[in-house]
Homo-oligomer: A and B are copies of this chain.
């Protein structure tokens, strides 16, 4: 966790790029009147089309159930998600995106596309494809949730 050299290591480079995106998306959401936070976004992002259990959400986002619950509470209060009973398991409830929450999806997607276009512009299509390929493969060995 220490460096000090001129050229940065791979992970740090990923961090830098990722954060830049996160900030852009958040900024756009706020500009549109949705008062989101980074942590909320990280959870929200993992909610599946048919709803996702809290525990699953927690695993995917790699936080504890309590933290996930805390964030979902906020999202629920903001009207972005709702909790509905899970028909398959009475202990569980499904966290689902509400219609209000769904409004943010195309918004985020638009920013993401915009950024992707900028990146492609800067890197060229070939390098972008390679980047995507490498990162996707990397996920196989870095994502404990997979």
Contact = CB atoms under 8 A, between A and B. Distances in A.
28 contacts: A1-B22, A1-B41, A1-B104, A1-B108, A2-B47, A2-B108, A2-B109, A4-B49, A8-B139, A10-B135, A11-B17, A12-B45, A13-B135, A13-B136, A13-B138, A14-B14, A14-B135, A16-B139, A17-B135, A17-B142, A19-B62, A19-B142, A20-B142, A20-B143, A21-B142, A127-B130, A130-B134, A131-B138
Contacts of A54: none
Contact of A22 (B4, B11, B105, B140): B11
A112 B13 CA distance: 13
A16 to B, nearest CB: 5
A89 interface: no
Interface in A17-32: 17-22, 25-26, 29
Contacts of A79: none
A71 interface: no
Interface residues of A, number: 63
A90 B13 CA distance: 34
What 9 A-B pairs come out closest when comparing CB atoms? A1-B41, A20-B142, A14-B14, A13-B135, A11-B21, A131-B134, A2-B105, A130-B130, A14-B18
Contacts of A131: 10, 130-131, 134-135, 138
